[in-house]
Structure 1
Amino acid sequence: MSARATDGAELDHRAVERRAGEVDARLADIELLPDAIAREKALRAVRALLELYGEGLDRVMSAVYAVDPALPARLAADPFISHLLLMHDLHPVPVEERVLAALDEVRPYLESHGGNVELLRIEEGVVHLRMQGSCKGCPSSAMTLKDAIEDAIRKAAPDVLAVEADQPQSQEEPALVTLTPRRTAAVG
């Protein structure tokens, strides 16, 4: 086992994001090559390499699952391995389960501020949430969503494209009614 492999457990989400960003930057450099033929050859080589590694990883994960059905999920708990599995559509934990786990992670923080959050649905990579309690409708709820919830979801499910807070459809909140003074006819 290489020294790099033993350090894998210590890679946190920021390190994975940094490394993924470096790869994205190098791929962007390839796409900017002025020679169209060289650019296309380089991109085809990258795609072929991804397909080859993806097929190999799929076989490894199948063999691992055959030995211990719980092991793929344990492996996916490592941020680096999780990223690799996501890249090849092989993550063993469904996106909804990962999002729910992320919400459970931030729930104590929300509850400490008198709020909560509910997962409504996930459609086309977009997570729809409902803010509950004193968080809903308050100006800081957008900040709470962005900072705490989105960060937790991004770490647990980087394949999620967006997080949106749906407006509550409850009739509990009174409608705003504007009152105007009644005009009376002038008495003669």
Structure 2
Amino acid sequence: MPEASDHNTRAGAAFDGPMADVHEAGARVEALIAELAELGPHGTRSKAEELVRVLVGLYGEALERVMRTVTGAEAAEVLHRLTTDDLVSGLLIVHDLHPLGTADRVLGALEEVRPHLGLHDGGVELVGVDPSGVVRLRLEGTCHGCPSSRLTVTGAIERAITRAAPEVTRVDVEGLDHDDGIDGRAGRHDHHHGTASEPSNGHGAGRPLLQIQRRPPGPCPVPEEIS
């Protein structure tokens, strides 16, 4: 059994600086819960999971109230700054509160990488986003024909889309083999990557503690200034 001081050091390591990745935070929560299960008696894990759910529900409600306040036209600049912050944007997606849908955020990510694509005399077009979270793209120009350029370009696209829309499960590029498509979960094929979930004991098995939603809802209005 590890020493308490060692456990506390490792537990605190996740909070030594800003946690800029929601997936990373979810994975750390899952690891800490697993450690608690090893350290404590039976039932420790379920209590830890209940604690996480209560905390997530609490800050989720707080975020919802914030979004109700900043969706008026007069708060457009504040809303823009919130939704362009990677950490805040990720939490809004977790709680199904982000004012922009998956397709809009993917388009924004593609706009970010267009200057990079231009260096390779190419471009990219969004073909569509299906309900399962798969994004379909079409490469244009040299990006489509040159293998080395294609590899460089798809890597840049992967990073941009994963950052802007972590709920995307896969990016399929026309002209590439299906196995060469971009996995939006960084190569992980388990459904709840980046989330802490309950053990497979038949009682809520696999239900995530930190859930990345498939598609943000529509009711939250977006001021014209940021749409």
Using the size of structure 2 for normalisation, the TM-score is 0.59
SS in 2 for 1:16: coil
CA–CA distance in 1 between the matches of 2:42 and 2:55? Answer: 20
1:106 to 102, 109, 113: 113
Residues 33-52 of structure 1 mapped to structure 2, 5 A cutoff: 33-34=37-38, 35-52=41-58
Partner of 1:180: none
CA contact (8 A) 1:73 1:93 kept: no
Distance, in Å, in 1 between the alignment partners of 2:135 and 2:127 is: 8
* CA distance in 2: counterparts of 1:96 and 1:72, whole angstroms: 19
Normalized per residue, the structure richer in helix is 1
In the alignment, structure 1 residue 164 sits paired with structure 2 residue 167: no
Corresponding residue of 2:95: 88
Displacement of 1:129 after TM fit? 0.5
Alignment gaps of 5+ in structure 2: 1-17, 177-227
1:140 and 1:66 map into 2 onto residues whose CA distance is 46
| 1:56 equivalenced with 2:62 (yes/no) | yes
Q: In the alignment, is the contact (CA less than 8 A) between 1:73 and 1:92 conserved in 2?
A: no
- Distance (Å, rounded) in 2 between the aligned partners of 1:167 and 1:22: 35
**1:67, distance to aligned residue in structure 2 (A):** 6.9
Q: Aligned in 2, Cα 1:102/1:67: closer, same or farther, shift over 3 Å?
A: closer
Distance 1:75 1:86, change over 3 A: same
Equivalent position of 2:152 in the other structure: 144
- SS at 1:159 equivalent: coil
Q: Paired residue for 1:8?
A: none
Partner Cα distance (1:111, 1:146) in 2: 13
Give me the CA root mean square deviation.
Answer: 2.4
Q: Which amino acid aligns with 2:88?
A: I
CA contact (8 A) 1:106 1:148 kept: yes
Distance 2:146 2:32 in 1: 44
User: Unaligned 5+ residue runs, structure 1?
Assistant: 1-10, 169-188
Identity among equivalent pairs (%): 44
> CA contact under 8 A between 2:117 and 2:153: conserved in structure 1?
no
Partners in 2 of 1:75 and 1:47 — Cα distance? 24
Q: 1:106: how far off?
A: 1.4
Distance 1:27 1:142, change over 3 A: same
Distance 1:66 1:109, change over 3 A: closer
Superposition deviation, residue 117 in structure 1: 0.7
Q: Secondary structure in 2 aligned to 1:129?
A: strand
- Mapped to 2, the partners of 1:135 and 1:21 lie a distance apart of 31
Change (3 A) 1:96 1:82: same
Q: CA deviation at 1:69?
A: 5.2
Which of residues 121, 127, 134 is equivalent to 2:128?
A: 121
Give CA deviations for 1:20-78 in whole Å, capped at 9, x if unaligned: 52552232231351444110111011112111211121012102224735232332112
Larger-gyration structure (1/2): 1
* Counterpart code for 2:138: R
In 2, are the aligned partners of 1:72 and 1:92 still within 8 Å (CA)? no
Q: Name 2:79's counterpart in structure 1.
A: 72
Distance 1:112 1:101 in 2: 19
